[in-house]
Amino acid sequence: MLSSTYVEIPEEFQIKNGINQNTYLINGELIEWKGETSDVYSTISSTEDYKPTFLGTIPTLTEKEALEALDAACNAYDKGQGLWPTMKVADRIACMEKFVEQMKTKREEVVKLLMWEIGKNLPDSEKEFDRTVEYIYDTIEEYKQLDRDSAKFSKHDGVYAHIRRGPLGVVLCLGPYNYPLNETFALLIPAIIMGNTCIFKPAKHGVLLLTPLLEAFKNSFPKGAVNILYGRGRVVASPIMQSGKVDVLALIGNSKSANALMDQHPKQNRLRLVLGLEAKNPAIVLPDTNLDLAIDECIAGTLSFNGQRCTALKILYVHEDILEEFNSRFSKKVDGLKFGNPWEQGAKLTPLPEPEKPAYIQELIDDAISKGAKVLNERGGETSENYIFPAVLFPVTKDMRVYQEEQFGPVIPIVPFKDIEQPLDEMAESNYGQQVSLFGNDIKTLAPLIDTLVNLVCRVNLNSSCQRGPDVYPFTGRKDSAKGTLSVHDALRSFSIRTFVATKDTEYNKEILNNLLDANASNFVSTDYIL
């Protein structure tokens, strides 16, 4: 068993009374729910004898409420004629600014719930909130610039054109549990600000942290522009997709869920997709690498938030010339990481939010051992009621589950290699293609590797662990890892389409255009410059 001394929870982090989240947002109203509810528990214990902590309840909504939310979103879009999609850009920005200002007042509550609901440590929980606020401000500024660049007419072959980006329609947004605020809002915020109307269902874990923000959504946007549901995905998301009225599916999660939802849409050729899915990001550690640097970055890459990130390093290819030293030093460093509750100072490893995850990780370890791997670190596989200590497995081969599956948790497979073609070939064969970490020093070796790797993945991290940020950089993937690109810049384009007004260059038409601009009667045809 994983030894863990009970530490009394500081007053500011205690959960004293459960949150009775009994409202949901449809058509601009927080509707009180009096039906069935679902209990929300944390795997973190509040007592010396282990027991999951009751956090509160959420509505268990039904198909009826789901279709009411869909109707609200469709009515708000109103075939492109609604208040929100036709609103001036400056006015939509003002709504978003109002929202983020109200959101900032809820930092303490949201951070506390991030820790309890998903086990994210205090510094990372604070970072997730602050990064999300920054993302919203950056999105606002990027949208202003996008509008400035469009505030003009082009002329080609005797035709004037006024080209802007317009909304796509109704968006169904489903976020992940590992970044229930940041990655969810990386979908939701650009979708909203571009003039789409949205239906949003939080993930199973990280659901209560939306509670402090419901009033801000209600107060900041016109009715029906944002609708927030609770409940089981197959109950509320399925009928929404089956209606055929959803124009965009925005989802960060796994491809199984995405495919199941897509298959339910009766007009898939009309369905736009913005998807962030699985990844099996590798690290390639070359023999001339700076081992101190590589080990530190591989620790961060494999075990930040217990490896529960799509951008986590999930397999390490280490050259045989440095294998013994790397394995020894890396394993000792893993064993030196502190396990504790999220608010405990220096806690790098924290309780897993999914109660079934330790057993799954143990299955991967047992399978690898049965096929010839060993656990290199002394503490690897130690378990408690809500955690399993990271196991460093070596040597890992293709027939092992930990090689094939995206583990999304604390287990680290190491694969030895002699010929660089081995990791390159295996990456090419993989179903995934998000990122890679490349550790080395010799530019004659690195240069051709980089030239190959950029065609296998979408981000090559040189001597650094894989990550999403900074959010101004494109975040996407090849093959089964993603569809669409997310970043402050790209997300606005992912949730919009180029649309324009064109007219022939005649005196008659020029007079009409001038009158349109002078009257400032159209929200679309405008050369106003947003400061």
What is the predicted pLDDT for the residue at 260? 95
Query: How far is 302 from 31, CA to CA, in rounded Å?
Result: 42
Query: Could you give the angle at the alpha carbon of 421 between the alpha carbons of 418 and 426, nearest 5°?
Result: 105
What is the predicted pLDDT for the residue at 17? 85
What is the predicted pLDDT for the residue at 529? 86
Residues recorded for the chain: 531
| Residue 214 dihedral angles phi and psi, to the nearest 5° | -60, -45
pLDDT score of 15 more than 90: no
Q: Which two tokens stand for residue 488?
A: 């402050």
Percent of the chain scoring above 70 in pLDDT: 99
| pLDDT, tens digit (0-9, with 9 covering 90-100), for 485-519 | 999 999 999 999 999 999 999 999 999 999 999 99
What is the predicted pLDDT for the residue at 531? 83
The DSSP line for 391-439 is EEEES--TTSHHHHS---SSEEEEEEESSTHHHHHHHHHSSEESEEEEE
> What mean pLDDT do residues 188-207 have?
97
Per-residue 3-state assignment (H helix, E strand, C coil) for 71-133: HHHHHHHHHHCCHHHHCCHHHHHHHHHHHHHHHHCCHHHHHHHHHHHHCCCHHHHHHHHHHHH
Percent of the chain scoring above 90 in pLDDT: 95
Give the burial string for 409-445 (b: 16+ CB within 10 Å, else e): bbbbbbbbbeebeebbebbeebebbbbbbbbbeeeee
Residue type, 130: D
Banded model confidence at residue 307, pLDDT cuts 50, 70, 90: very high
Are 239 and 67 contacting, i.e. CB atoms less than 8 angstroms apart? Answer: yes
Question: In whole angstroms, how far apart are CA 94 and each of 87, 88, 91, 193?
Answer: 11, 10, 5, 10
Nearest to 297 by CA among 422, 530, 140, 463: 463
Query: How far is 80 from 162, CA to CA, in rounded Å?
Result: 18
> What mean pLDDT do residues 3-11 have?
72
pLDDT score of 369 more than 70: yes
Q: What residues does 23 pair with on adjacent strands?
A: 32
Q: Share the mean pLDDT of the chain.
A: 96
pLDDT score of 25 more than 90: yes
Which helix (DSSP H) or strand (DSSP E) does residue 299 occupy? Answer: helix 291-303
- CB atoms under 10 Å from CB of 222, counted, come to 17
What is the predicted pLDDT for the residue at 5? 53
> What mean pLDDT do residues 43-56 have?
93
Are 198 and 188 contacting, i.e. CB atoms less than 8 angstroms apart? Answer: yes
| pLDDT, tens digit (0-9, with 9 covering 90-100), for 428-474 | 999 999 999 999 999 999 999 999 999 999 999 999 999 999 999 99
Nearest to 127 by CA among 115, 116, 137, 139: 115
Q: Is 253 helix (H, G, I), strand (E, B) or coil?
A: coil
Residue type, 370: S
Query: How far is 433 from 453, CA to CA, in rounded Å?
Result: 10
| pLDDT, tens digit (0-9, with 9 covering 90-100), for 213-248 | 999 999 999 999 999 999 999 999 999 999 999 999
Are 387 and 326 contacting, i.e. CB atoms less than 8 angstroms apart? Answer: no
What is the predicted pLDDT for the residue at 1? 56
What is the predicted pLDDT for the residue at 434? 98
